[in-house]
């Protein structure tokens, strides 16, 4: 016992930290192998996850997609908000991260594919339109043509009035890819807002909320 904290609570915290460390180690290994597609050395924090999901406002969403979930740090926060009849699926291009995601969230369909194929993926799920896309993609590391292609394909599924929520790292704003992406968003969405900086994320990040 540690003061008011029981042994069970202590074990839970130690277990959670060990799991987080396992995720970090595997994520780092993926970054070393595929730095541009992975885009980060460690998974996002719960602070960033909560900001993302708050911006998404999923309470009334019937159909939600998660792009680039990695190990799935945002996923529990998404599931917490979804109603019983809602449809939810994830698309992860990296087979090893997709396998980790599957193990952590066996109830969530994950497509081991590129988000460029989102229309075909939605067809296979009999989804006509999507209310919200929550993205963990490393936009700053994508080429300009890749950014345009991924957004173009997303517009084939996102319903008018639907939301696109994604994050960027403060330090990456100097990169040409991040600057291009920031300029691209207002040209294709009705309204784009930026959250305040989530300083407790490593590295500090902010969230774009885009209304289609
Ligand atoms: C910065 S990590 C974010 C992971 C997780 N969402 C988080 O915040 O910790 C980017 C993720 O996007 C995935 N990714 C990159 N390009 C992709 C693509 N074209 N289609 C699907 N996933 C992709 C990577 O494999 C990686 O898991």
Of 56, 76, 136, best ligand 1 pocket probe by most atoms within 8 Å of the beta carbon: 136
- Tell me: pLDDT of 18 over 90: no
pLDDT at 1: 41
Question: What average pLDDT score do residues 104-118 get?
Answer: 97
Those residues with Cβ within 8 angstroms of residue 115's Cβ, 6 or more apart along the chain or in another chain: 67, 68, 91, 93, 137, 150, 153, 154
Q: Residue range 81-87: average pLDDT?
A: 94
pLDDT band at residue 13, thresholds of 50, 70 and 90? low
Residue 28 confidence (pLDDT) above 80? no
Is any ligand 1 atom within 6 A of the Cβ of residue 92?
A: yes
* 212 alpha carbon – ligand 1 mean position (Å): 22
The residue ranges of every structural domain in the chain are: 7-211
Domain spanning 7-211, CATH class = alpha beta
Average pLDDT value for residue range 2-9: 58
45-68: pLDDT as tens digits: 999 999 999 999 999 999 999 999
CA-150 nearest atom, ligand 1: 19
3-state secondary structure the chain: CECCECHHHHHHHHHHHHHHHHHHHHHHHHHHHCHHHHCCCCCCCHHHHHHHHHHHCCCCCCEEEEECCCCCCCHHHHHHHCCCCCEEEEECCCHHHHHHHHHHCCCCCEECCCHHHHHHHHHHCCCCCEEEEEECCCHHHCCHHHHHHHHHHHCCCEEEEEEEEEEEEHHHHHCHHHHHHHHHHHHHCCEEEECCCECCCCCCEEEEEEEC
- If one residue of 68, 92, 121 were mutated to test the ligand 1 pocket, choosing by the most ligand atoms within 8 A of its CB, it would be 68
pLDDT at 3: 46
20 has a pLDDT exceeding 60 = no
Rounded to an integer, the average pLDDT of 96-118 is: 96
* pTM, 2 dp: 0.88
Does 187 score more than 90 pLDDT? yes
Distance 190 CA to ligand 1 centre (A): 25
**pLDDT, average across residues 130-143:** 97
Q: Is the pLDDT of residue 16 over 60?
A: no
The minimum-distance atom of ligand 1 relative to the CA of 48 is 8
Q: CB of 164 within 8 A of CB of 188?
A: no
Per-residue confidence (pLDDT) for residue 4, from 0 to 100: 56
The mean pLDDT value for 6-25 works out to: 59
Is residue 91 within 8 Å of residue 113, measured between CB atoms?
yes
Share of the chain above pLDDT 70, in %: 88
Residue 2 is predicted with a pLDDT of 44
């Amino acid at each position: 016992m540690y003061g008011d904290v029981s042994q069970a609570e202590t074990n839970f915290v130690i277990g959670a930290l060990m799991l987080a460390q396992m995720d970090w180690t595997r994520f780092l290994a993926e970054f070393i192998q595929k730095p541009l597609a992975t885009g980060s050395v460690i998974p996002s924090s719960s602070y960033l996850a909560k900001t993302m999901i708050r911006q998404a406002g999923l309470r009334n969403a019937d159909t939600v997609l998660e792009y680039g979930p990695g190990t799935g740090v945002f996923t529990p926060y998404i599931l917490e908000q979804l109603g019983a009849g809602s449809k939810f699926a994830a698309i992860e291009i990296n087979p090893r991260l997709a396998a980790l995601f599957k193990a952590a969230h066996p109830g969530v369909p994950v497509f081991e594919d590129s988000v460029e194929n989102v229309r075909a993926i939605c067809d296979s799920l009999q989804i006509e339109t999507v209310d919200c896309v929550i993205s963990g993609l490393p936009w700053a590391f994508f080429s300009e043509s890749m950014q345009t292609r991924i957004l173009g394909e997303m517009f084939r599924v996102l319903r008018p009035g639907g939301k696109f929520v994604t994050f960027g790292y403060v330090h990456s704003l100097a990169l040409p890819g991040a600057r291009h992406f920031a300029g691209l968003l207002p040209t294709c969405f009705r309204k784009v807002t930026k959250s305040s900086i989530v300083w407790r994320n490593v590295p500090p990040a902010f969230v774009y909320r885009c209304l289609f």
